[in-house]
Amino acid sequence: MIIKGNFIWAPELDRLEVREHAWLVTEGERIVGLYGQLPPEYAGQPVEDWGEAILIPGFNDMHIHAPQFPNRGIGYDVRLLEWLETYTFPLESRYRDLDFARRVWKRFLNRLWAVGTLRFSAFATIHKQAAWVLMELTEQAGLRGLVGKVNMDRNAPDSLREETEQSLADTEELICRSRAELKHVGFILTPRFVPSTTERLMDGLGQLGEKYDLPVQSHLSENPSEVDWVRQLHPDIPTYTQVYDTYGLLRRDKTIMAHGIYLSPGEKDILREKGVLLAHCPFSNSNVSSGIMPLRRDLEEGLRCCVASDVAGGHTAAMNRSVAGAAALSKLNWLSHPEQRHLKVTEAFHLATRASGAFFGKVGCFEPGFDFDALVLTPDPMDSLLERTPVERLEQFLYDGDDRHIAARYCGGARVERPFAL
């Protein structure tokens, strides 16, 4: 495939690459090269010419709750633990109804496609069948990523509290089935968070992680009441991070922890050493009044960080908005901590494309050897009138763009169309 257009990507936190009127050549899933002039050996082959449009890497949303998709924007006048009890758990209980689950999953995947989230790591619910259907539909949609059946066997309503051994058996069944039947969607171990998983369950999940060499996702240090609760539940383990580590759930370079707002220096040492990816979710952190993660400082201290939506703690799946939200929150943090520089929006763009894409391998850049994932952003009529640069157009899309500005999506080297007719 040969694609012509204006390409922008962010290979490093503080570096943007721009190639105007360039030719990108792919073979199968991967990029062969990006050229200022089309090499002669490709002459005469069909070209998808996007004219003045700009192409950016697809977004990777590394923390999103598929079952909470219908709750976007609802009930944010309470804080995390009350919000879970009042809004989240009653909705998640409904996914034992597979027909309901299927209807929500299709709308969820259509929305991710629309907003340009081509890869993701999602929480499903405790329900084995519903989690399986989400995996299958994701593969059918032509999107890629990881899905986890949630594990909860304590401090949950009766309708969501699992029996420990059954939770482990259901998890192992999904691991094996997804390996046998799916190509582009993998299983990720998904203990909800420490307060809802017993030692025996965490230990069993840690063993499954070892046995099948699996990635892990969970929540860490999101809210002060949650951190206190973990301390009461595990008085013998010094920190929240060490609880996960004790049970083998910080798998090296294969773990995503959402939030990480209230971390001690010792916890950061462990997270850095294990290569844990911290998913910063700016809208969720402000919606349920959790706090502001010191994102710039964490990056300077060598922690791996990305930007994610955390729907439905976050009110929108649109990652361009979360990117702009991360920059906005970082500026508010800067006002009260002037010694910490704020993050630029283009740096947050790196965190939602390349930094997150690295969890899947060579994803998030327009460079040889990378998977070709891209969004084609249509020009705004004002662009030529005002002679906007490609970077200015990217910035404006990040703040005020929406799915109407995305003309096409490519994932793993193939054009992806709207997945489901509803």
Binding mask 230-259 for Zn ion (x = CB under 5 A): ----------------------------x-
- Provide, rounded to whole angstroms, the least separation between the CB of residue 19 and Zn ion: 36
Q: Could you give the CA distance from residue 308 to residue 278 in angstroms, rounded to a whole number?
A: 10
- Provide, rounded to whole angstroms, the least separation between the CB of residue 222 and Zn ion: 8
Residues 336-375 that bind Zn ion (CB under 5 A): none
- Provide, rounded to whole angstroms, the least separation between the CB of residue 105 and Zn ion: 18
> Which lies closer to Zn ion via its Cβ, residue 216 or residue 258?
258
CB 317 within 8 A of CB 111: yes
> Which lies closer to Zn ion via its Cβ, residue 54 or residue 124?
124
Size of the site for Zn ion (CB under 5 A): 2
Binding mask 254-283 for Zn ion (x = CB under 5 A): ----x-------------------------
- Provide, rounded to whole angstroms, the least separation between the CB of residue 147 and Zn ion: 14
Using H for helix, E for strand and C for coil, what is the string for the chain? Answer: CEEEEEEEEEEECCEEEEEEEEEEEEECCEEEEEECCCCHHHCCCCEEEEEEEEEECCEEEEEEEHHHHHHCCCCCCCCHHHHHHHHHHHHHHHHHCHHHHHHHHHHHHHHHHHHCEEEEEEECCCCHHHHHHHHHHHHHHCCEEEEECEECCCCCCHHHCCCHHHHHHHHHHHHHHHHHHCCCEEECEEECCHHHCCHHHHHHHHHHHHHHCCCEEEEECCCHHHHHHHHHHCCCCCCHHHHHHHCCCCCCCCEEEEECCCCCHHHHHHHHHHCCEEEECHHHHHHCCCCCCCHHHHHHCCCEEEECCCECCECCCCHHHHHHHHHHHHHHHHHHCCCCCCCCHHHHHHHHHHHHHHHHCCCCCCCCCCECCEEEECCCHHHHHHCCCHHHHHHHHHHHCCHHHEEEEEECCEECCCCCCC
> Which lies closer to Zn ion via its Cβ, residue 139 or residue 310?
310
> Which lies closer to Zn ion via its Cβ, residue 119 or residue 219?
219
Q: Which residue is nearest to Zn ion (CB)?
A: 310
- Provide, rounded to whole angstroms, the least separation between the CB of residue 310 and Zn ion: 5
> Which lies closer to Zn ion via its Cβ, residue 148 or residue 419?
148
> Which lies closer to Zn ion via its Cβ, residue 10 or residue 188?
188
> Which lies closer to Zn ion via its Cβ, residue 170 or residue 222?
222
Name the nearest CA neighbour of 255 among 216, 221, 222, 220: 216
Query: Where does this chain touch Zn ion (CB under 5 A) — which range of 94-102, 296-304, 308-316, 323-331?
Result: 308-316
Site for Zn ion contains 92 (CB under 5 A): no
- Provide, rounded to whole angstroms, the least separation between the CB of residue 42 and Zn ion: 45
Residues 14-33 that bind Zn ion (CB under 5 A): none
> Which lies closer to Zn ion via its Cβ, residue 329 or residue 375?
329
Binding mask 180-219 for Zn ion (x = CB under 5 A): ----------------------------------------
> Which lies closer to Zn ion via its Cβ, residue 309 or residue 378?
309
- Provide, rounded to whole angstroms, the least separation between the CB of residue 309 and Zn ion: 9
One-letter amino acid at 264 equals S
- Provide, rounded to whole angstroms, the least separation between the CB of residue 64 and Zn ion: 8
- Provide, rounded to whole angstroms, the least separation between the CB of residue 175 and Zn ion: 22
- Provide, rounded to whole angstroms, the least separation between the CB of residue 258 and Zn ion: 5
Query: Site for Zn ion (CB under 5 A): which residue of 136, 267, 310, 373?
Result: 310
CB 182 within 8 A of CB 220: no
Residue 232: Cβ within 10 Å count: 8
Residues that bind Zn ion (CB under 5 A): 258, 310
